[in-house]
Structure 1
Amino acid sequence: MKLYYAPGACSLASHIILNEINVDFDLERVDLKTHKTEKGADYYAINPKGYVPALEINPGLILTENVAILPFLAQHDPKQDLIPPSGLGRAKVLEWLGYLNSELHDAYAVFFGAPLSAEAKEKAYAEIDRLLTHIDKTINESNNDYLVDDNFGPADAYLFVLTNWSNHIEHDLTPYIHIVALRNKVAGRQSVQIAMRDEGLIP
């Protein structure tokens, strides 16, 4: 398999899960401004949507979108317990991925487009805070070690990556003590440390 990624982008979640499973994979960096890969390929020819992640499963067989890639990878090695095989547990993972993708991801993404006015920034921060308040409350009310159950999984990786963007938009996560505690737990995983180093995000 090969993951097309951009450093620190949402593709980092797929990179983390790839590190968790027993599979050989390659990485190819994408410049999202030029839409060229590090090997000089036209990224639009690989993924016409133009954004990351894209997972090449076999030559010419491409899967896109985190909500599809993350469960696909998580189920690769059942011994890892990254995602329940079926039933309500699996549905809960998909529920979290859908929410993170459609709500929190979009709320952060506003900051990575055209420059925002002071008023627009205030509204954008407020929307992120509204979503994080809900997530923090949900974590607090749960008896689980992670978002879905007591096992680390794709939703935890995705939440870690999205909230990592707070570092780049001058947004304070400290009020969300349960999210911060979960982030710290996820950050300590070897899969995360390796992915962060491979993408040049930490020394």
Structure 2
Amino acid sequence: MKLYYSPGACSLAAHIILNEINVDFDLEKVNLKTHTTEKGTNYYEINPKGYVPALEINPGLILTENVAILPFLAQHDPKQDLIPPSGMGRAKVLEWLGYLNSELHDAYSVFFGAALTDDAKQKAYAELDRLLTYIDKTIAESDNEYLVDDNFGPADAYLFVITNWSSVIHHDLSSYKNILALRDKVGARQSVQIAMRDEGLIA
């Protein structure tokens, strides 16, 4: 398999899960401004949508969108620890991935587009805080070690990656104690440390 990624982008979640399942894979960095890969390929020829991640499963067979890629990779875990094979547990993973993708990811993405006016920026921060408050409260009310159960999974990786962007947009996470505790657990995993080093995000 080959993962097309941009350092620190949402493709980092797929990179983490690839490390978790311990399969052979290649990485190819994408410049999202020029839409070319590090090998000089026109990225639109790989993913016409133009953004990452894209996962080449076999030559010519490309899967896009984290809500598809992350469960696909997680199901390759031989212990089935990363995602339940069926039933409510699997549905809950998909529920979290859908929420993170359609709500939280979008709320952060506003800051990476055209420059925001001060008023628009405050509204964007307020929306971000509304979503994070819900997530923090949900974690606090759960007896689970991670978002879905007591096993790390794709939703945890995705939440970790998205909330990393708070440091880029100067957004304070300190009031979200439960999110920070979960981030600390996720960030300590070897799969995360390796992925972040490979992408040049940490030394």
SS in 2 for 1:168: coil
Inter-partner Cα distance in structure 2 for 1:105 and 1:115: 18
The answer for the alignment partner of 1:114 in structure 2 is 114
Provide TM-score, normalisation by structure 1. Answer: 0.99
The answer for the alignment partner of 2:169 in structure 1 is 169
Q: Which amino acid aligns with 2:128?
A: I
Inter-partner Cα distance in structure 2 for 1:26 and 1:82: 21
Q: In the TM superposition, what whole-angstrom CA distance separates every residue of 1:96-118 from its partner, at most 9, and x where no partner exists?
A: 00000000000000000000000
The answer for the alignment partner of 1:145 in structure 2 is 145
The answer for the alignment partner of 1:62 in structure 2 is 62
Q: In the TM superposition, what whole-angstrom CA distance separates every residue of 1:21-78 from its partner, at most 9, and x where no partner exists?
A: 0310000000000000000000000000000000000000000000000000000123
The answer for the alignment partner of 1:31 in structure 2 is 31
In the TM superposition, residue 172 of structure 1 has moved relative to its aligned partner by: 0.2
Q: Which amino acid aligns with 1:47?
A: N
The answer for the alignment partner of 1:8 in structure 2 is 8
In the TM superposition, residue 14 of structure 1 has moved relative to its aligned partner by: 0.2
Q: Which amino acid aligns with 1:87?
A: G
Equivalence map 1:11-160=2 (5 Å):
11-160=11-160
**Contact 1:2/1:27 (8 A) holds in 2:** yes
The answer for the alignment partner of 1:190 in structure 2 is 190
Inter-partner Cα distance in structure 2 for 1:158 and 1:80: 18
Inter-partner Cα distance in structure 2 for 1:13 and 1:35: 20
Q: In the TM superposition, what whole-angstrom CA distance separates every residue of 1:155-186 from its partner, at most 9, and x where no partner exists?
A: 00000000000000000000000000000000
Inter-partner Cα distance in structure 1 for 2:22 and 2:107: 33
Inter-partner Cα distance in structure 2 for 1:114 and 1:88: 40
The answer for the alignment partner of 1:178 in structure 2 is 178
Inter-partner Cα distance in structure 1 for 2:22 and 2:114: 40
Q: In the TM superposition, what whole-angstrom CA distance separates every residue of 1:104-151 from its partner, at most 9, and x where no partner exists?
A: 000000000000000000000000000000000000000000000000
| % identity of equivalent residues | 84
Inter-partner Cα distance in structure 2 for 1:22 and 1:177: 31
Q: Which amino acid aligns with 2:44?
A: Y
Provide TM-score, normalisation by structure 2. Answer: 0.99
SS in 2 for 1:30: strand
Inter-partner Cα distance in structure 1 for 2:129 and 2:123: 10
Q: Which amino acid aligns with 1:162?
A: I
In the TM superposition, residue 80 of structure 1 has moved relative to its aligned partner by: 4.8
Inter-partner Cα distance in structure 2 for 1:197 and 1:78: 25
**Contact 1:21/1:80 (8 A) holds in 2:** no
Inter-partner Cα distance in structure 2 for 1:51 and 1:63: 12
Q: Which amino acid aligns with 1:125?
A: Y
